[in-house]
Structures are given as structure tokens and as C-alpha cells.
Structure 1
Amino acid sequence: MAKLIRITTIPLSLEKLLEGQLTFMSNNYEVTAVSAEKKRLEKYGQENKVDTFHVGMTREITPLLDTKALLKLYSFLRKEKPLIVHTHTPKAGIIGMLAAKMAGVPIRLHTVAGMPLMETTGAKRRILNNVEKLTYACATKVYPNSEGLYKIILDEKFTSENKLKVLGKGSSNGIDTNYFNPGQYSEEERAEFKKRLKIPENDTVFIFVGRLVADKGINELVQAFEELEKIHGNISLLLVGPFEQELDPISETSLRLINSCPKIFTVGYQEDVRPYLMVSDVLTFPSYREGFPNVVMQAGAMGLPAIVTNINGCNEIIEEGKNGTVIPVKDRSALQGAMRKMVENKSWRTQLQKNARKKITDNFEREIFWQLLLEEYKLQEKYLGEKKFS
């Protein structure tokens, strides 16, 4: 079997963003997962029955460590001689694509699932722009995981149109709608879990799932909730995810509100988010930038309507007035207004709920996406063969 190398900066991306995908591909390729955090990576490999190779990568700009990682990966690829290297996440993208190009790997693929550079300015933005261009220059094909990202890449002139392709209707991995299925839980289980979290039984529960950082709109969300809670006492906010104060801190005001408000519940990072979605009524996802957010698909598959910002990915999953509502970015007032409407207009919210799951099952089924990606690999192999004999 031909060798396929999949690279992410940290194993969390393999576990969550690409869940199940590498195991599926191992039926057709000899798959190796490359990432940082050696012990966690090895655990992932054992659980998913794929080989692993550890490369110490960071999510920050660290020239010396990055050079060391590049050389280590280059040496590995020279030895392994894979047919395909496929990278995800910005740091793994530049190191992986550059190493693969240097090592003469014939098929070099990079998936774009978000652009942190969109929220930066000045010298750092110029550096990140150049890194993005170099990544795409080294790749033979680039896959934005949403139509919005496709457009941004062209607008920013990072690469040419003939190098870009969106697979299916977007996403990097689709959604397992059998796993994310509200039918798995009874009303009794829902009530019991809500009680365990100490959320009042009759509260309307807004949920956020993701990193609790500024770029995800947490400042706007917490402050909008606090203002709304003064008007409607029977609401709760459930925050599922880790703080990253060292990378992208939320404000001290937001931190104080989270710690002091009895109706804001934080549970940290959770391996399985389904029970938390099960006890919730509305997803609130006021992010500043995304690729194609898994959580919006997960919540939809669990039957939750969503309040999302008007950014790529989000506005491709949520259709205004059908399975949720779309608000402007960084607009606390609009966010509060949308949350208030969800509380006060229950018939509207119920109608959105009815449409939420169908939108996901019709468009983003996981195994269909896996098959699309496998077909794309075979297509790239075909192009390679045609080049050799032309």
C-alpha cells in the first residue's frame, strides 16, 4: 500500500477535528499521524490503529523550534518516501508542506480550516501572510473547508484559483449524525444531567462549546448574557471548553462575570460534549473567524438552533430564520437581541429546532465526506500518473 502522512500541530486536532478519518483511510493507505505531544500522539495511534511520528511543533512563532521540527520532519519523509502528505492547521501546514516539498513528496495537500492571521495587524500580519503564501506554494493542492475561506484566499492573493478546491459542501470531516443524535437521550436523562450541573430545571440554556478566548466572542457573549439575565431571570449560560489566557485572553471584566454570576456554568474541556448539548436549548457561537466550525454542525445534529456571527463557515451552515439566526461580528447588542428573541418567541425557536438536525443530515454526513476525500486522493494519484506519462 502507498504511504499517507497526515500532520497536525497538536494531537487534539487529530482526535477532534479529524475524528475517525485516519482509521478510515488506513483501509486504502499505510497511514502515519505526525504531531507534537508525544505521549498523547502515541495514545491516539494505539486507539486509532495508525502509526505515529512525533515532531515538536508549537502554535506560536518560534523560529528555532520550527527549524528543528522542519529538519526532523524532512529527514523522516526522505526515509519513508510517502505518496501523499496532507497537513492541517497553520504551523503543521508550513512545516509539513515545506518538508514534503524538500523531500520530493509527489502529492502535497493542505486543508485550510481557519485563519488566525485575519485578526492580526502590522508586522505580525505581514509575516503570517508570507507564511500562508509559502505553505500554498509548496502544496500541490489546497482545500479551504468553506466557500468563505476559498474567497478570502483568492481576495488575499495567497494562491491561484486552480490550486483551490472545496470538498462537498464544506467541513474537514463532516459529522457522525448517528453519534450526535438527540434520540439517544430520554427526557429523564436530560433532567437528571441538568440537575447534576445545578442548572435550574425550567431555565432556557444557552451553550457555547469551544476555547474560551477573545476570538470566539466570549467577551460579547458573557456581557450580553449578563444584561439579558437582568431582564429574564430564567436563563443560564453553559460554557464548555478551556481558557487560554496565555494565547488569547478574555477581558478581566468577563472573567469576573464568569466567576461571580451564579447563572454562568463552566465545565472546562469535555471529551464528550453530547450531554451538555442535550441539556441546552440554543447554541451561541459569536466567533470572529472560523473555517467550518464542527460545533455548529454538532449542535445542529443534536437538534439545537444556533446564533452565529456572519462569518464564513457559520453562515454556510446556518440559514437565517431556518435553523438559526446570523448576527454581525463583535456586536454585543445584536447578540443580546437574538438571545432575547430565542427566550421570548418560543414558537420561533421551536420551528428552528425542527429544522436544525435535517440541515446537518442532508448536507454534512461524515462517511460521505470521508468517501469524497478518498476519491480526491485517488484523483490526485491519477493526475500524478498522467503527468509522468505526458
Structure 2
Amino acid sequence: MNNTVLSKKKLIRVTTIPLSLKTLLKGQLSFMNSFYHVIGISSGGRELDEVKLYEKIEVLPVEMTRKISPVNDLVSLYRLYKVFKREDPYIVHSHTPKAGIVAMLAAKLAKVPHRLHTVAGLPLMEASGNKRKLLNLVEKITYNCATNVYPNSEGLYDFIVENKFADKTKLKVLANGSSNGINTNYFDSNLISLEQKALLAQHLNISPTDFVFIFVGRLVADKGINELIKSFNAISENYNNVKLILVGSFEEELDPLNSDTLQIINENSNILLVGFQQDVRAYFAISDCLVFPSYREGFPNVVMQAGAMGLSSIVSDINGCNEIIEDGINGIIVPVKNTEKLYDSMQRIINDSELNNILRKKSREMIVSRYDQKVIWNAILEEYKKLENLCIK
């Protein structure tokens, strides 16, 4: 290890699974490594090794589970505590719910001076009964152990305040929201050639006259997939030139879809299931409109990506989505869990090509001006720098 690295303060970024480090914070870790000695921590695996190579940072595996598992969580807590005592970081910054509770508690026990947690979506919003009470308690403990809490949307900020999870003095939304912004130089439809688009469309049996909807994300109930499939199935019965591309993977154990939904996906030939894709740009490039009827989000990258690629979007009226999308300007906002309104909006977009063109023309411009990645990164860096002027807590 050279003297330059030794002279930098240590910044540890923690997520539950390596995919979050790899995708949700892509590029940011490398950027921060110019100013701090960055260490990435998550559960181990090939993707954590890929983070090390791509971001050119040090990584450490600490196994964590996304499920509620007291024994495993205590083991993770102890292992993180040992890492923090050994590495003596100046800042520990966590993302995702499980990493948040475990890392913030371990960092407080290890007396890390600056303990930061970014809130990007809350599973408890869809929970009820004893599970909701437990998840409420987890959030309160996480925020209590943190010295600073960063909701990545105004909607999440309001939700945290309304539920009294944390004092306002700890809370701050950085820049215009988002945890990582969007690389608008990468998500640009001009980078996808006509040949690429033609080959992919041919592979998926999409004709030039088809109207193509796309969904990108986990294929789970919380993302509104049950409502989306029901709406699209009705649409495809009335229109013979519509397609729906589903980009993502199922999570049958954590959040399974209805059996009726799965049956429609398997039987409707206009629903194109392509699985998880490392690079989604070509799929956006052959599509006409993103449909993203999620129940809860922090600040959805997918909606920013689609906008940067020049797509209109139909999104649910939840925090994050209703901050990126302005109804009638760059997309359409529909009530959450409302299949009828979702169907009406999809039908409207198909029938009104002039409206869709207007929405698409504004989409990229609005993303570039508000959510370009460097804007978000510099806002986070500025926040880190401010900590250096504060007394150690």
C-alpha cells in the first residue's frame, strides 16, 4: 500500500448484497477513492470481485442476509464490528435496510466518528401488523445509531418525519434526490446503432409497427408486476401490435407474484421475458414507453435511465417516481395499485402518438439538467468534506 493511500481518511461503504455496490453505486466508489481510501463491504461473491476490478477499490466480504434472521444478523454485526475496529474508518456509509441496521449499530459500537445512512426505499411501507412494528423499530434503531441520515427523495424525507423515525436535524436530501444520479453520457440512445436495434427487435420478434412497453426491475409484487401484467393482458386483447418487454429476474422466496400473473406471462406471446440484463440500453432503445407501477421506491434509477434514453414513462404516484416524472410533461402518473388507471394510461399512450412524442422530447432534457451523476457525486463529496469541520461525536 503506497503512502498516498495511507494518508487518506478511510471511507467504508456498506450494502447487503454486492449487486447493490455494483449497480446502485456504480462509478461513485471510484470517484470517492480519489479523495478517500474507499473500502466496499457486502456479502461475498463474484459481483464483489467485479466491484473491486471496476471501481479499483479495496473490498471486504461480510455475509449479510436480506431476510429477518436474528442469529445470522448477530453474526454479521459482530464481524462488521471487528472490521471497523481493525480498519478504524473516518466514515461508514451504509445503504439498503439490512446493511443499515447492522452497519450503523456496529459502527456505533466501534466508535466510528461519522456514521451515515442513505435511505432508498422502505420495505416497511408495504408491511402490516407485527412485521410492520418490527421494521419500524429497525429503522428507528438504524437512524438512532447514525449521525446523519440521507433520504434520497423528498417523499422519503416526509415519511421519516411523519413517522418520527428520526429528528429533522439528522435528515437531509442531497442535490435533487437520488443516491447515485444517472450517467447521461452512457444512457444515451444515440449510442445504440440502427443495426443493434434491428437485430434485437428481430431476435424478440418485434416489428416496426409494434408499440413497445418496457419494465426494468425485479419481477416481484412490490414493483406492481401483478397490476402491470393484468393491464397489459387486457391491452393485448384489444391491440394486435403491442409488446411488453420484462427485463429482470423473479424473487420467488422474498416476494412472489400471483399464480394468475405467472400464467399470463407464460401464455401471452406478446410478453417478452428476457431476464436480468447487464446492459439495458438496447432494450430501452427499441421501446416506446417505460411502465413502472411500483408500490414503493427511494429514487428509482430505472425511471432516470429511461428518461435519459428519451422514453416517456408511466409511473405510480409514489415518492421518487413523482419527483422524476411531472404528469403530462415527461410522463404520466397513476395511482398506486390501480389496474384500471394503469390500463387507461397505457391505452392513452398507444392511441395518442402526439402526446407520447411530446413526453419523449422532454424526457432526456429533464434528466440531464436535474440528475446527472456528477451533480449527485459532488453533493455527497461536499457533505463528506463538511464532516471534517465537525467535532467528533
TM-score w.r.t. the length of structure 1 is 0.98
CA distance in 1, matches of 2:263, 2:331: 30
Count of residue pairs brought into register by the alignment: 386
* 1:37, distance to aligned residue in structure 2 (A): 2.5
CA distance in 2, matches of 1:132, 1:247: 19
CA contact 2:196–2:282 (8 Å) conserved in 1? no
- 2:256 is aligned to 249
Q: After the TM superposition, which residues 29-108 of structure 1 pair with which residues of structure 2 at under 5 Å, given as runs?
A: 29-108=36-115
- Whether 1:8 and 2:15 are equivalent positions in the alignment is yes
* 1:230, distance to aligned residue in structure 2 (A): 1.2
Q: In structure 2, the residue corresponding to 1:189 is in which secondary structure? A: helix
Give unpaired runs (5+ residues) of structure 2: 1-7
CA contact 1:182–1:278 (8 Å) conserved in 2? yes
Q: After the TM superposition, which residues 297-312 of structure 1 pair with which residues of structure 2 at under 5 Å, given as runs?
A: 297-312=304-319
- 1:344 is aligned to 351
Deviations 1:304-328 (A, max 9, x none): 0000000000000000100000000
CA distance in 1, matches of 2:383, 2:107: 19
CA distance in 1, matches of 2:151, 2:387: 16
Q: After the TM superposition, which residues 137-216 of structure 1 pair with which residues of structure 2 at under 5 Å, given as runs?
A: 137-216=144-223
* 1:336, distance to aligned residue in structure 2 (A): 0.5
CA contact 1:309–1:326 (8 Å) conserved in 2? yes
Deviations 1:137-161 (A, max 9, x none): 0000000000000000001110111
Residues 17-26 or 180-189, more deviating? 180-189
CA distance in 2, matches of 1:304, 1:250: 27
* 1:354, distance to aligned residue in structure 2 (A): 0.4
CA distance in 1, matches of 2:277, 2:245: 12
* 1:185, distance to aligned residue in structure 2 (A): 2.1
Spell out structure 1 runs of 4+ moving beyond 6 A: none
CA distance in 2, matches of 1:265, 1:382: 53
- Whether 1:383 and 2:393 are equivalent positions in the alignment is no
Q: Which amino acid aligns with 1:151?
A: D
* 1:233, distance to aligned residue in structure 2 (A): 1.1
CA distance in 2, matches of 1:54, 1:353: 42
Q: In structure 1, the residue corresponding to 2:307 is in which secondary structure? A: helix
- 1:223 is aligned to 230
Q: Which amino acid aligns with 1:18?
A: L
TM-score w.r.t. the length of structure 2 is 0.97
CA contact 1:204–1:343 (8 Å) conserved in 2? yes
Q: Which amino acid aligns with 1:174?
A: G
Q: Which amino acid aligns with 2:197?
A: R
- 1:372 is aligned to 379
CA contact 2:192–2:281 (8 Å) conserved in 1? no
CA distance in 1, matches of 2:193, 2:73: 49
Give unpaired runs (5+ residues) of structure 1: none
- Whether 1:28 and 2:27 are equivalent positions in the alignment is no
Deviations 1:6-54 (A, max 9, x none): 0000011011110011111000111100000244312321222111111
Q: In structure 1, the residue corresponding to 2:166 is in which secondary structure? A: coil
* 1:245, distance to aligned residue in structure 2 (A): 1.2
Q: Which amino acid aligns with 1:202?
A: T
- 1:129 is aligned to 136
RMSD: 1.0
* 1:239, distance to aligned residue in structure 2 (A): 0.1
